Chains A and B, each alone.
Chain A
Amino acid sequence: QQQVKQSPQSLIVQKGGISIINCAYENTAFDYFPWYQQFPGKGPALLIAIRPDVSEKKEGRFTISFNKSAKQFSLHIMDSQPGDSATYFCAASSGNTGKLIFGQGTTLQVKP
């Protein structure tokens, strides 16, 4: 049972455009929602995370939007750059357990 569903599977965006990746979750006990970025041949790296007490968190060009009632959250990459080309994973966790449930991943390609 996939508790975190991520879409789209792949995404192509022009340089300077906005990349949007969506995730939906089922478990209302989830209280931590991170996004990880993974480059080919590397391990995932924490990019940005949000807790359900806020609806938006911004760090540089990266923004998480969170909709608690819809049980959805999304990653927005503003002014997308070719260096942002990577695979992005959303995840969710309940409590300070470290037991992350990951989405299926989205491969982003930013064209110059």
Chain B
Amino acid sequence: DAEITQSPRHKITETGRQVTLACHQTWNHNNMFWYRQDLGHGLRLIHYSYGVHDTNKGEVSDGYSVSRSNTEDLPLTLESAASSQTSVYFCASSESSGRANEQFFGPGTRLTVL
């Protein structure tokens, strides 16, 4: 069955370290998205991609970067982790043919920055 996976599921890091969160989908979806979930804020869009080599900034992109070298993966990098980036991160994917808004979410990565 097609799925979307995230790794690691839990990560503890220190302020200033670089961290990369992985997202892998086997739906063969062109669109991929990264969100962070914080209490009282719902989910907020960090970055998104409509295809290989395409990346775009979302609502809360400062301090994060992504790159898309193939269809299946969209890793999220925190260049220099800050305590404000402690959150639960979700990756999602969707088709591009008129169904971009119907997104399938991964299980999430809980990141703690100490």
Known: A45-B105, A46-B102. A100 touches B90 (CB 8 A): no
> At the interface, yes or no: B107 with Cβ under 8 Å from chain A?
yes
Can you name the residue of chain B whose Cβ is closest to the Cβ of A104?
B42
Residues of chain B at interface, number, CB under 8 A: 27
Q: Is A98 an interface residue (CB 8 A)?
A: yes
Taking the complex as formed, is A13 at the interface, i.e. its CB lies under 8 A from any CB of chain B? no
List residues 82-114 of chain B with CB under 8 A from any CB of chain A: 90, 92, 94, 98-108
**Could you tell me how many residues of chain A have their Cβ less than 8 Å away from some Cβ of chain B?**
25
Interchain CB contact under 8 A, B108 and A98: no
13 inter-chain pairs at a CB distance below 8 angstroms, sorted by A residue, are: A6-B42, A41-B107, A43-B105, A46-B102, A49-B102, A89-B42, A91-B43, A98-B103, A100-B43, A100-B101, A100-B103, A102-B35, A104-B40
What is B's interface to A at a CB cutoff of 8 Å? 31, 33, 35, 40-45, 48, 50, 58-59, 90, 92, 94, 98-108
